[in-house]
A = this chain, B = another copy of it.
């Protein structure tokens, strides 16, 4: 399955600016991207990076500096078309296309396989993020398009209903955890097994279980 991974090279992870310097945010964002790409490949996916600027990777990179929604919709249009022959298989069916965010540092091959399977059964399968975002999805319906503004999970469910597409939600804490805010760093330290968790530990971050939910501290 083709898996588009959007990645912003321009001021990545600005909501982590209280916890990390701009250079650190760049390094950490790259570590998360590398973890996501490894998990996609291990789950049998074929990753294509959709980046806002050139980035050095061993996978195909498409540069598109337009806003995320516009760039992803252009990629979906090129692949799913309007049901015409371009993207259609021999029997006229479209190949599913996945879009997986680059900051899902907890993504594992098992979690992504569940997403891919849901996307083979439904026309649109979405893994919602905490706060109602759309962290990952698979679509085969030719008319499905995204709108990442606001509570996009609810919007995408509505868009699927409007175009008559079967919709499935994928219930995953790992795919639901996009790493945007300082509190999310605790999730990486608790569950992460890759470069992002190693990077955080190397930068002096540790878990702090002294009150309520576990938070992070930095040496």
Question: Which of A's residues lie within 8 Å of B, judged by CB?
Answer: 15, 108, 110-111, 114, 127-128, 130-133, 149-151, 153-154, 171-177, 180-181, 183, 186-187, 190-191, 207, 209, 212-215
Contact = CB atoms under 8 A, between A and B. Distances in A.
17 contacts: A110-B171, A111-B171, A114-B171, A128-B173, A130-B177, A131-B186, A131-B212, A131-B213, A131-B214, A131-B215, A132-B209, A132-B213, A132-B214, A151-B190, A171-B172, A171-B174, A172-B173
A215 B150 CA distance: 10
Contacts of A15: 212
Q: How many copies does the complex hold?
A: 2
B172 A132 contact: no
A52 to B, nearest CB: 19
Pick the 8 closest A-B CB pairs, nearest first: A131-B213, A150-B209, A173-B176, A132-B214, A151-B214, A132-B190, A151-B209, A131-B214
